[in-house]
Structure 1
Amino acid sequence: MKEFIPSAYSKQVESGAVGWQSPSNIALVKYWGKRDPQLPENPSISFTLDACRTKTIMHYSPKIYPGNSLSFDVYFEGEKNEAFKPKIAKFFERIEQYCPFVRDFHFKIETENTFPHSSGIASSASGMSALALCLMSIESELVDSMQDDFFKKKASFLARLGSGSACRSIEGDLIVWGEHDNIKGSNDFYGIQYPDEVHPNFKNYHDTILLIDKGEKQVSSTVGHNLMHGHPFAKNRFLQAHENLSKLQAVLKEGDIEGFIKIMESEALTLHGMMMTSSPYFILMKPNTLKVINKIWNFRNETGLPVGFTLDAGANVHILYPENDSVRIFQFIKDQLVEYCQNGHYICDRIGKGASQLKVKS
């Protein structure tokens, strides 16, 4: 998009440091399938999380050896990490026309998560959005002035080029990404705050994340998205996402929690159904994932309490429930579901307001 390509910068900076902490998010209507450059095949909507965050500090200084090559080091949780470098290098290459200063500096990137990396929680979403926000903080020092709205919009645009779902982690609490006929301002290039009416039932929603399997995913999300090309059910799936988002608009306005749960759970199972019918096919759910799902269904049928689940592209289960019923539902989670978690580990989270800047000493 031309609006994000800067003209010549009006200021110069020598060195410094910036920092952001950015949350993960959990999609209610899932994004699965993309086209170049990192554009979604269908719209999605997500809750922004609060506790599951990536904290990133970016130190920048003039390169010792001027030239056109990228220069950066990555430290993950205090240790130098070479494994992250190829993905970040690809990200820098994608955004160069929008942030040409990336080849002018050497960057020391220090990052850490508040949750296990590569375990079905969207660490790429929080990580890439935090990185994009750091870059925007640097760019804001290179220009005379920058409006806050433009800052967030371009940060979301950049984050998308690192990881599609990252564009939904800049703000909160409900974010839409992907063009949808009935949602004003929705587009494929960056996420927007959901513009329509939301019933109080969906404020302060809880998300307890059961860590069924904290290991590396057997298939990366990038590979999974690419398997939608030529998938026999892809076209109908993309249409279904549009329809479910339309249904969700009415549900959110009316406070229909039962309807909310039906859409959310159907979307989760459809996502995994698309994986199981890809070529090659794969299963990311584990036996304990299915045990937890059945326990949730039984508990909901027996008590009438509005507890539901969703899944990302992994084995972990996100259990979503409203504030008003949180005490009884959380007791059920502790009593009946934690035993299915790896080493009894789970995360208590809730819906958050988006990323925040860190105070950093240069």
Structure 2
Amino acid sequence: MPDVLDASPYDALLLLSFGGPEGPDDVVPFLENVTRGRGIPTERLKEVGQHYFLFGGVSPINDQNRALLEALRKDFAEHGLDLPVYWGNRNWAPYLTDTLREMVRDGHRRILVLATSAYASYSGCRQYRENLADALAALEAEGLELPKIDKLRHYFNHPGFVEPMIDGVLESLADLPEDVRAGAHIAFTTHSIPTAAADASGPVEDHGDGGAYVRQHLDVAHLIADAVRERTGLELPWQLVYQSRSGAPHIPWLEPDICDHLEERKAAGVSAVVMAPIGFVSDHMEVLYDLDTEAKAKAQELGLPVRRSATVGADPRFAAAVRDLVLERAGLERGQEVTPCALGALGASHQLCPVGCCPSRAPRPAAAGADSPYA
């Protein structure tokens, strides 16, 4: 029997994700949830939803969250961590408010939250915290006793997140034809966001020049590129590039786009490209369509050999990293001295989002932070 690990004062973990449609009839209602308040016509949503319809109207993200949920439960049980794990989504069933209600009715009062976004940004952190505040407000209106909620810190540079991505890049390199491998380029990809949102990401002291969002991705890219050099002897050039832009054309977003980047690399004489989606926890729609479909089609048009490396998904090392993050936060809550585990130059992220962290244009209440109305 494993030793019993102490997660107190916490009594449950909530896996919080974006959500996605699970059939053709779900696509437009799902997109209505995602774009609520923007006044986008249904016909336009049907156009946007074509990416989903190419895959039968099913996003892979829910199945991947089910796999991660099982990986976490398995890891916790094998290591003696008695902490039930629940799952809720921002935009599709199981909805966050419904899951939180279930947790409260099950008697949980100190809840940790794992968001399926590793980096600092409004959409990757604060918006989840706003969703948590909305859910708590709904439960309060129902007369339920509210739990205290804390969010696990950003884990972009935790070894359990980085090591699987290193292995993915190495496997993709090995899969390239031998005659192009030594001249390959690594394109580290992440979701493009408006430059204004990037500049304002992270705590106030990190704002400017891409903010914490760009800085954190660059730190991970350096870690992976260094590991590739150490393990293969290849000094491969690399660049952080972006994908999945969805905003109005007149608003500046982070660039270059991956397809433009492939054209540039081909023109520069690069022999092959490994696309490494370091900004994504799992292979959801942005990976399946924007990389595996659109970018690979562009590469084929250019005659440029490409491989796409694996995301972390439900890798056992990631599940172990979550266990480590839980025990780290629990120890700190109990007043113990804890050394957070982190690689790279930036060190471990803050445990509590400070006031002014990843602000939005229209401030809303956000839970699990220094400015939370539900502290």
Q: Given the two structures, how large is their TM-score scaled by the length of structure 1?
A: 0.26
Which of the two has greater strand per residue? Answer: 1
Which of the two has greater helix per residue? Answer: 2
Q: Given the two structures, how large is their TM-score scaled by the length of structure 2?
A: 0.25
